[in-house]
Structure 1
Amino acid sequence: MDEPSAAETEEADAGGGGIIATRGLTKRFRGGQLAVDGLDLTVPAGSVFGFLGPNGSGKTTTIRMLMGLIEPTSGTARVLGRPMPRSARTVLPQVGALIEGPALYGFLSGRDNLLRYDAADPTADPRTRRTRVAAALDRVGLTAASGKKAKAYSLGMKQRLGLASALLQPRKLLVLDEPTNGLDPQGMREIRSLIRELASDGTTVFLSSHLLDEIEQVCTHAAVMAQGRLITQGSVTELAAGTRGRLFVTTPDTGDAARVLKEQGLADVVVAEERVTAEPPDRELAEVNKALVTAGIRVRGFGVERASLEDAFVALTGEGFDVAG
């Protein structure tokens, strides 16, 4: 049996090498398509880790390799300190996962779906099954709809039910693929709050999302993929700090302000209502402000905004918001 030693378990729990760690992880499909190319990824213990990338960047393929659903062409992947997919039987009972949407029995109620999920877990105590299912339904806000057949659920309700299935047992690691897909704004806030709560309880959360503001709001760390390669990884604060922010001018004289900024040599000048933004200059900001005031511009706000994760993502990949995949 491929059981973890006490030392290995302690190392995984302490984050020695990361709750998830890949080295040179590569997947080449038939026909020569290189989906993941030499990925070196480290997910710290206790983090909420966001996984970002444009269409075809290799995110989903990576997640499937981490969960033992497909084998890598080369390289290694370790989850909870154990090699995958070889240790899947040891690792997966400690991992909750929602990948590419939940797989549900449409003719069963939400509650009965969870009862079946729980019954399929060899580590689950059947004597407390209904208690676990009720608690999971309550955590995702589905108690009132638990008797309704799953085929009648909305996309958001199905997503909640899939998340509930991942929460039936205490987990060291939760892997979520687009966890707020199909949810209304209130539902998105609730799931984000739940993710933070799980992380505060010691669960490491690894999630992919095409919503950059979601990653910035809920994640402590992130990685960016493009064309199968890892572009960067680190804390969300560090990733954003590595990108220059935008100079902004708040004024009713937007047209004249934009003209002055261009005359001052500033690039990428954008006008939106009573606000003009541009790439920050390499010289003193006071000189730019003086030029605006001298030109008679009524400056009501002026400065450089902190770069967002969206700014960092666009700077790194050259891509916009279409980052699902």
Structure 2
Amino acid sequence: MAEPSATEPKRPGREPDRAERADDAVIATRGLTKRYRGGQLAVDGLDLTVPAGSVFGFLGPNGSGKTTTIRMLMGLIEPTSGSARVLDRPMPRASRTVLPRVGALIEGPALYGFLSGRDNLLRYDAADPTADPRTRRERVAAALDRVGLAAAGGKKAKAYSLGMKQRLGLAAALLQPRRLLVLDEPTNGLDPQGMREIRTLVRELASDGTTVFLSSHLLDEIEQVCTHAAVMAQGRLITQGAVADLAAGARGRLVVTTPDAGEAARVLKEQGAADVVVDGERVTSEPPERDLAEVNAALVAARVRVRGFVLERASLEDAFVALTGEGFDVAG
């Protein structure tokens, strides 16, 4: 396989820091491509760099190629062309060396429904040739406790809800210390409280030195926990980098709060604002290309009673729309 280039291309205006260099990457792909029978192109020439120590969000609508990419990274399927390196080893050739150091939850856990959650984990651990059988029960108990299933460990897996099955799959990925944790839609089926708990757990793992590669179609969810992200659409990489940099690449929204919403919308359009939307007393728009103090003054001069005037920070959703011109499913 071809070796990855030594560094990522430099972004204009600044030097790449250590965490962004491909020679310090936990995952690096070059031209990674997967074409299925019948000509379906699932992943198209992917160049991805996941910095060591990051919480990396792998974003894209359902069907954008995220899971296919993860399956190639984990050696579950062969790429059609291109290369992938995980923990600085070529995949899938080095699967036996790499996978014991990787915890993964891909497309939901495979469970024995007639066994308890605890017994499922005991079987997972027994299948790992690197696992120490002398500490098996202690590590299983710790993993169940870490994902909030200590009280349900004795219940049969077939009685688990979807969210509980997701938690159990995550517990299986945490049975041993891992350099890399790969999670494919880990909050699927979880209620808001469960989502918060998973976010907290991911942050704890990252603070312990584990790199977390987190695939999701929920931009808001990823924005709360990730340090870096990449955006996929129709099998192609749209952009990647630090989350703050990606959001900064999109303009925010100007928000005016006023009882004179109709007049405010008219003035904003005259001032060059685009995509003006009125919702009750809230008027939002893309900010015009001029000093916002002048825009505020124009509203006041038109006798608009301005109760709020703020430029909201751009989100990952804003960045995605700016890059692709398409909407994004942020609510699932």
Q: Same fold per TM (> 0.5)?
A: yes
* Alignment counterpart, residue 179 of structure 2, candidates 172, 189, 198: 172
Cα pair 1:109 1:146 within 8 Å, conserved: yes
* Alignment counterpart, residue 279 of structure 2, candidates 272, 279, 297: 272
* Cα displacement string for residues 223-251 of structure 1 (whole angstroms, at most 9, x for unaligned residues): 01112111110000000001111111111
Distance 1:15 1:33 in 2: 29
* Cα displacement string for residues 143-192 of structure 1 (whole angstroms, at most 9, x for unaligned residues): 00111111111111111000000000000000001111111111111110
RMSD: 1.7
Distance 2:168 2:223 in 1: 25
Which structure has more relative contact order (CA 8 Å, sep 6+)? It is 1
Cα pair 1:175 1:206 within 8 Å, conserved: yes
* Alignment counterpart, residue 76 of structure 2, candidates 69, 72, 91: 69
SS of 2:48's equivalent in the other structure is strand
**1:290 maps to what in 2?**
297
What's the offset of the Cα at 1:323?
7.0
Name the CA shift for 1:266/1:314 in 2 (closer, same or farther; >3 Å).
same
**1:224 maps to what in 2?**
231
**2:16 maps to what in 1?**
none
Distance 2:328 2:46 in 1: 23
Distance 2:241 2:133 in 1: 41
**2:118 maps to what in 1?**
111
Amino acid at match of 1:254: A
What's the offset of the Cα at 1:324?
10
Distance 1:15 1:197 in 2: 25
* Alignment counterpart, residue 303 of structure 1, candidates 306, 310, 313: 310
**1:134 maps to what in 2?**
141
TM-score (norm 2): 0.91
Distance 1:321 1:266 in 2: 23
Cα pair 1:172 1:203 within 8 Å, conserved: yes
Q: For 1:144-163, list aligned pairs within 5 A.
A: 144-163=151-170
SS of 2:25's equivalent in the other structure is coil
What's the offset of the Cα at 1:318?
2.6
**1:5 maps to what in 2?**
none
Q: For 1:72-111, list aligned pairs within 5 A.
A: 72-111=79-118
Identity of aligned residues (%): 88
**Worse-superposed segment, 309-318 or 20-29:** 309-318
Distance 1:180 1:55 in 2: 14
Q: Which runs of 5+ in 1 are unaligned?
A: 1-11
* Alignment counterpart, residue 324 of structure 2, candidates 305, 317, 325: 317
Name the CA shift for 1:323/1:54 in 2 (closer, same or farther; >3 Å).
farther
Runs of 4+ in 1 over 6 A off after TM superposition: none
**1:236 maps to what in 2?**
243
* Alignment counterpart, residue 183 of structure 1, candidates 190, 194, 216: 190
Amino acid at match of 1:129: R
